[in-house]
Amino acid sequence: MLFSDRENYRWPAFPPGLVWLIGAGPGDPGLFTLHGVNALRQADAIVYDALVNSRILDWGRCGAERIYSGKRGGRPSPKQKDISLKLIELSRSGKRVARLKGGDPFVFGRGGEEALALVHAGVQIRITPGITAGIGGLAYAGIPATHRDTNQSITFLTGHDKFGLAPTEVDWKAIAAGSDALVIYMAVKHLFKIVDCLMENGRSEHEPVAIISNATLPHQQTLVSTLGRVCEDMVRGEISAPAIVCIGENVLLRETLLWAERFWGENPGMYGADMEAVSRNW
């Protein structure tokens, strides 16, 4: 039993041969879903990516096989096919396979490709979303994703194309004009180019920007700047990946709403929740 069954809710069983794609969230294990925990408790094999917090892996069964499938960030990934094949092979050997991916599996995570490969191979799948870095990271930086006074719209985009280059197929004119706020994943490497494209297409150099690295983890760093200065500030601030970049007036709300860095400062060693106490009650 996962939590108390007082509500008479039956947690789904994990049949052998099923591959369960699960979003692991951006880092803080407290952001992992209960469906995810239920799946891990039953899984025979756990296939996980680089950005999955190891505390989450600890919630799997002792005897479960743990298989690392991390890729090097930003590079084209010749191994994606092998990962899908591995999942198919594990399923065919009758394992209950938990496929853990950072954030949400269907947000810039190639979860769609894996799911398609599995379905084409006749493998039964189940999908549990996770909190994506662009939502969770903003919340932990004290930046509302939307706010009526600053932005009624928000766009999520990637700073990398499938070749690891600055995205060329993006219609920068439409992106720059189309949304009040932008959240860019995998943006650190090509930030210079991205900022140029946005300013060339009409975004102001004075527009607020936040870069949030290692979001939702105690070593989270948030840099606030402007579009005109952000690249210089990023280099000076030694901001490292993984990081998301938020561009828009909503960034200014952080000045008032900042909370997580303060919380960790006052509660060293905490993950945003006392995970030992939470686990004891399971």
Question: Which residues are at the interface with ligand SAH (CB under 6 A)?
Answer: 26-27, 51, 73, 101-104, 107-109, 132-133, 137, 185-186, 212-216, 241-244
Long-range CB contacts for residues 223-228, cutoff 8 Å, separation at least 24: 224/251, 224/254, 227/195, 227/198, 227/199, 227/203, 228/199
Nearer to ligand SAH, 118 or 260 (CB): 260
Question: At 125, is the secondary structure helix, strand, or coil?
Answer: strand
Tell me the closest approach of the beta carbon of residue 193 to ligand SAH, in angstroms: 16
- Total number of residues shown for the chain: 282
Tell me the closest approach of the beta carbon of residue 260 to ligand SAH, in angstroms: 12
Cβ proximity of 153 and 180 under 8 Å = yes
Question: At 11, is the secondary structure helix, strand, or coil?
Answer: coil
Token reading at 220: 């989270």
| Cα 245 from Cα 85, distance rounded (Å) | 33
- CA-nearest of 52, 65, 127, 57 to 94 is 65
| Cα 214 from Cα 261, distance rounded (Å) | 12
Residue nearest to ligand SAH (CB): 103
| Cα 47 from Cα 31, distance rounded (Å) | 19
The owner of tokens 């949030």 is 212
| Cα 282 from Cα 277, distance rounded (Å) | 9
By 3-state DSSP, what share of the chain in percent is helix, strand and coil, each rounded to 5? 35, 20, 50
List active site positions. 49, 71, 186
Tell me the closest approach of the beta carbon of residue 1 to ligand SAH, in angstroms: 30
Nearer to ligand SAH, 95 or 143 (CB): 143
Nearer to ligand SAH, 75 or 92 (CB): 75
| Cα 247 from Cα 154, distance rounded (Å) | 10
Distances (CA, A) of 75 to 99, 111, 241: 21, 17, 14
Nearer to ligand SAH, 42 or 218 (CB): 218
Nearer to ligand SAH, 65 or 126 (CB): 126
Cβ proximity of 21 and 102 under 8 Å = no
Tell me the closest approach of the beta carbon of residue 75 to ligand SAH, in angstroms: 12
Tell me the closest approach of the beta carbon of residue 46 to ligand SAH, in angstroms: 17
Tell me the closest approach of the beta carbon of residue 141 to ligand SAH, in angstroms: 10
The strand pair at 221-226 and 208-213 is best described as: antiparallel
Nearer to ligand SAH, 27 or 272 (CB): 27
Token reading at 144: 């509302």
